[in-house]
A and B are shown apart, each in its own frame.
Chain A
């Protein structure tokens, strides 16, 4: 890659974004292109393999890892709008393939250039502001993998602080797990409910009208509980705000029926 050419970024959309909330994918592409990257979205991508890996299905996780590596290793960077998927590729692919000499080095090589979206913008592309505007008070939830595996803490807040009109109200329990945990929330729903209630209470206590995070799993869990409890706080992926794409309904909200077609 020469000094003057744009970094070639492969977007790892993540299965949740792909299936449940495409706007996050569009926001990611926009943010990366605005930051000066050339973005590709390989069609071959499916899932990072984390459900298999965390369930102890190491064989399938390894197979999926190999196909992700093959699809993405040609890029300068791999960026995912998710701390847990980026963490899976960065921290756990090398672990999952440690005993496979043919793949171990390739996993290491991919790990070095894989990033979560917001920390990529700040730490690698040196973005300080995305030029977006958003009226309102938000609170930010620190997803566990992003925080503890990738050290993501200040970066989303730095970018959000630069959004015109936006103010951030910090909760007391931003670093506490929301109770999603992949299959945990359906295997142990009673405990998960207690955890997400504590998270929701903390969010409510901030007075914010929107909760943001960098991981859709967390957000769907939190949004689902907010709605079940009838609390009108909206949930969005932080990239939607940073890219100025907040006309879309928030997570779990109905499409605007009155909106006239374009």
Chain B
């Protein structure tokens, strides 16, 4: 997928002016956090489970090669095929090859961020195969030719009116007098349309929330049941997953599942949590004849052992998005690529390059809310700062800002000079800030365009203190000196 991340600032401005989006974000801002808190409150062991989930993934990453080999062995033993792919192009070609061999005309898909990463839909279409997104949100944005705006609720930015309009434009057999005003009507329309696709698909392409090494199993987590119709009905089931999705055992998967839904939507567990292992057995009445796993690297092995190693613990729950004040202000599209929110700001530069994604780690106050809710305890602010360090070394970003920072640091290391300079600066500002504040100030327009700037009152604290002031009436003594 082509990124618009370099245009983050403009994207953000557009997002801030987008009223339906702002309404949706306002709802999300309250809903998800509240539900997560309620779910956590109902489970006394929640914090302990977060620690264990972190430890499981830490252990996996330390032994990722062994676990991948063990996983592959089990998939093969159960009658499945593992295809290793270095990058997006190899993955696309592999998936196309499987589909062509199966004579596929239609491929149903359940939600997979990886499939967005490799832009497989467009590629299949170019090659005469119809990919159909079946997750309701993904289906809607597929019709609108938009990328997802949230990693678990892809159409969250849309109003129901926008959805109705989308259906009217795309579902050509929709009767003009059929009401699509209510969400239920929209749902029923989508259900009927997609039911045809589910039943007629030749290949089902799913992601995987986890890959269990013990049994060679992929785990799917949905509320709609679309992943289940996708993985069960077609003749061929293809799983696309990146290499860090491995967990060791069924017990480990269960631990992570206990923190996943609670962190994501506030549910104790999603409606459908499905464990698929290989193709159907000879005696089964349904299920796919073929089972393929496309294991994708696409930059993950580069992250192992790097400053961003811990990012590989991410289970794509979306909690960080739901709690991030920046995400909640501008939504997912502003980030410009597949992922968004704090996890996107850390991951995207790893996948598309630091230069293209340079705004993302900077558009943060490092407030730390993300880390506080991450079920895997990923130190997101620390990693955002690591990106800033790399950018600083590479001399990226505004020269003025760099110069200003360097000057400040230079002064800060020279206390005597600092003191002299600050005393002068404060006196000058104090002279001009007669009304107590500045509405505008040269060189400070970044601040004063949005807020007043309080003016200093009197000399610096340190010089006053060392002249003996103790400020009983808060500088009344000092005011006489600077007041005009």
Contacts and interface: CB of A to CB of B under 8 A. Distances in A.
Contacts of A196: 450-451
A102 interface: no
A234 to B, nearest CB: 11
Nearest to A24: B461
B363 A228 contact: no
B446 A189 contact: yes
A183 B388 CA distance: 12
Contacts of B363: 184, 187-188, 191
A43 B412 contact: no
B78 interface: no
Contacts of B190: none
Interface of B: 9, 12-13, 16, 325-326, 329-330, 362-369, 371-372, 382, 385, 387-393, 398, 401, 405-406, 408-409, 411-413, 415, 418-419, 422, 425-426, 434-437, 439, 444, 446-447, 449-462, 464-466, 469-480, 483
28 contacts: A15-B412, A22-B475, A26-B469, A29-B465, A29-B470, A30-B470, A56-B385, A57-B406, A63-B409, A144-B367, A177-B325, A177-B367, A181-B364, A181-B367, A183-B405, A184-B364, A184-B365, A187-B363, A223-B454, A224-B451, A224-B453, A228-B451, A245-B471, A251-B454, A252-B452, A252-B455, A253-B437, A255-B457
A22 B388 contact: no
Contact of B413 (A58, A67, A186, A189): A67
Contacts of B412: 15, 46-47, 49, 52, 64
B325 to A, nearest CB: 5
Interface in A43-82: 43-47, 49, 51-58, 60-61, 63-64, 67
B479 to A, nearest CB: 5
Given A19-B456, A224-B452, A13 B389 contact: no
B457 A21 contact: yes
A169 interface: no
B12 A179 contact: no
B104 to A, nearest CB: 44
A23 interface: yes
A192 interface: yes
A248 B473 contact: yes
B440 to A, nearest CB: 11
Contacts of B472: 245
A194 interface: yes
A61 B408 CA distance: 11
Contacts of B470: 26, 29-30
Contacts of A209: none
A60 B409 contact: yes
A3 interface: no
A192 B450 contact: yes
A180 B479 CA distance: 28
Nearest to B423: A19
A231 to B, nearest CB: 11
Nearest to A255: B479
Given A148-B372, A181-B364, A254 B434 contact: yes
A169 B367 CA distance: 23
A174 interface: no
Contact of B436 (A15, A41, A55, A255): A255
Given A19-B456, A51-B405, A184-B364, A190 B475 contact: no
A23 B471 contact: yes
B332 to A, nearest CB: 14
B453 A44 contact: no
A227 interface: yes
Contacts of A195: 325-326, 329, 365
Nearest to B450: A193
B365 A181 contact: yes
B409 A254 contact: no
B157 to A, nearest CB: 16
A185 to B, nearest CB: 7
A121 B259 CA distance: 37
Contact of B325 (A53, A176, A257): A176
A240 interface: yes
A46 B411 contact: yes
A18 interface: yes
Contacts of B454: 20-21, 220, 223-224, 251-252
Most B CB contacts (10 A, CB to CB) among A53, A177, A198, A251 go to A177
A145 B474 CA distance: 27
Given A64-B412, A191-B326, A177 B436 contact: no
Contacts of B326: 191, 195
Nearest to A61: B409
A225 B459 contact: no
Contacts of B469: 26
A262 interface: yes
